[in-house]
Amino acid sequence: MTGNASIRACPNCTGTQAVKLPVYSRDEWNVVSCDDCEMIYLQNPPKYEALEQDFAWEKTFVQEDETRVKKRGLLKRLAYAGRMLSYRLRPSPNARYLRVLGPGKILDVGCGDVVRWTAPFVPFGIKIPKALAKGADKKMRALGGECRQGAGAPTIWEFPENHFDSIMMHSYLEHEVDVDQILRGAQRCLKPGGKAFIRVPNFNSLNRKWSKGDWPGLRYPDHVNYFTVNTLKSVAANAGLGFQLTNKHKIWLDDNIQALFIKPIQN
């Protein structure tokens, strides 16, 4: 598909010794487990430019989703429809996240052009595709914020230190090749006591253990990190951030991990 791939060290411990997991690898994409810390990751991710052009997340998501829906039996499709309905009946994201994060300047990393934050949030964003960033920037400026165009890890460093009350990384960190750079950048631009909300696929879920190579959390090549609670906690600590698991009660059943990364009050 691309000659653009490069070999990558472990995003958690920077170790270079890893063993390939054939069940979770596909085509030329090698999913490996780090010998030192057992972090699961894609060892040869495409570069950002290739990701932007060839495998835009939204595009592969729609393709894989359609394939999965076709494969499903009637019962599974009904369960899926029920889940979609319950999502629609839940309180708005603004109200839910306001309870968790509190009001103020929020940085949405990898945000779409749909600006979901309204007062008392002041929305900021980072987005790779130029057209989406431009649309979001216009809407965010009208609300007192702004959207920068670029890849998340380098672009987060453009914002001032101690600037944001909160950061949203919803379905983002599993795509980020440079986990350490984005999280250190987040630590820097959060205010002391500020929180980043993180949602990533849960590699230790029961469904993954059951479904193995058919697990919906696997996406090639756009998911480049497959976290467990332990490795997610570890990357937070590497960046000087505290860790709080927010879906602890059913984590072994949940296909996703939801957590808060919290900047300590005193540095």
- In the bound state with Zn ion, the residue whose beta carbon lies nearer, of 17 and 53, is 17
The alpha-carbon radius of gyration of the chain (Å, integer) is 18
Which contiguous run of DSSP H or E holds residue 13?
none
Nearest to 171 by CA among 195, 146, 201: 201
Task: Give the nearest distance from C-beta 36 to Zn ion in angstroms.
Answer: 5
- In the bound state with Zn ion, the residue whose beta carbon lies nearer, of 15 and 193, is 15
Quickly tell me which residue has 């460093």 as its tokens. 157
- In the bound state with Zn ion, the residue whose beta carbon lies nearer, of 37 and 237, is 37
Token code pair at residue 30: 């090698």
Chosen residue from 34, 132, 218, 229 binding Zn ion by CB under 5 A: 34
37 sits near Zn ion (criterion: CB under 5 A)? yes
d(CA 189, CA 176): 18
The 3-state DSSP class for residue 261 equals strand
Subset of residues 39 to 58 that bind Zn ion, contact rule: CB under 5 A: 39
Handedness of CA 14, 19, 20, 23 (dihedral sign): negative
Task: Give the nearest distance from C-beta 35 to Zn ion in angstroms.
Answer: 7
The C-alpha torsion from 168 through 87 and 115 to 257, rounded to 10°, is: 10
**Where does this chain touch Zn ion (CB under 5 A) — which range of 9-17, 43-51, 243-251, 255-263?**
9-17
The site string for Zn ion over 64-93 (x = CB under 5 A, - otherwise) reads: ------------------------------
- In the bound state with Zn ion, the residue whose beta carbon lies nearer, of 109 and 183, is 183
Chosen residue from 10, 183, 198, 224 binding Zn ion by CB under 5 A: 10
Sheet holding 18-20, edge to edge: 18-20, 31-34, 40-42, 225-226
Task: Give the nearest distance from C-beta 78 to Zn ion in angstroms.
Answer: 41
Chosen residue from 28, 36, 65, 158 binding Zn ion by CB under 5 A: 36
Chosen residue from 8, 12, 29, 217 binding Zn ion by CB under 5 A: 12
Chosen residue from 9, 13, 237, 245 binding Zn ion by CB under 5 A: 13
Contacts of 75 (CB under 8 A, 6+ apart): none
Contact call for residues 175 and 224 (beta carbons, < 8 A): yes
Given the rule CB under 5 A, which residues bind Zn ion? Answer: 10, 12-13, 15, 34, 36-37, 39
